[in-house]
Amino acid sequence: MAREAVWAVITEMYDAYRRGDRAGIDRLLHPDATIWDSADPVLITSREQLEKVRDARPADGPEETGVHAYDEVVDVWQDAALARYLLRVDFAEGEPEIVRTTTVLRLVDGEWLIVHVHENTL
């Protein structure tokens, strides 16, 4: 049951991303979350940094048509969880991009929150 709840948080994050719903993503992030974004070499350690990375994404970049997380391996230990999975990013033109991703979550007040994301484009 906890494994499914953890995976639901991760898929909800990507659903929010597809909708362009930054607030929806941010609700799933622990306030002290850190992120290794696949498009930025610096460890993101604050919401302010995250906003800068988001805002720096080129508006005229390739048109994304979808993201899909799959091949998940999720382990849960009491109030900590570790999910490893592949993320396929589809584009209007060209081949999809595959991102190897690790996400760490903590159970806080009965709710799973993302505390770290590490993305690595293959």
Total number of domains in the chain: 1
Transcribe 90-106 into DSSP letters.
EESSSPPEEEEEEEEEE
Quick count: other Cβ atoms within 10 Å of Cβ 65? 12
Residues in the chain: 122
What is the predicted pLDDT for the residue at 114? Answer: 98
* Strand, coil or helix: 52: helix
pLDDT over 90 at 33, yes or no:
yes
- Domain range for 99 is 2-121
- Per-residue pLDDT tens for 17-26? 999 999 999 9
For residue 108, name the pLDDT band (cuts at 50, 70, 90).
very high
CATH number at residue 86: 3.10.450.50
66-86 as b/e: b if 16+ CB within 10 A: ebebeebebebeeeebebebe
Could you tell me if 73 and 101 are in contact, meaning their C-beta atoms sit under 8 angstroms apart? no
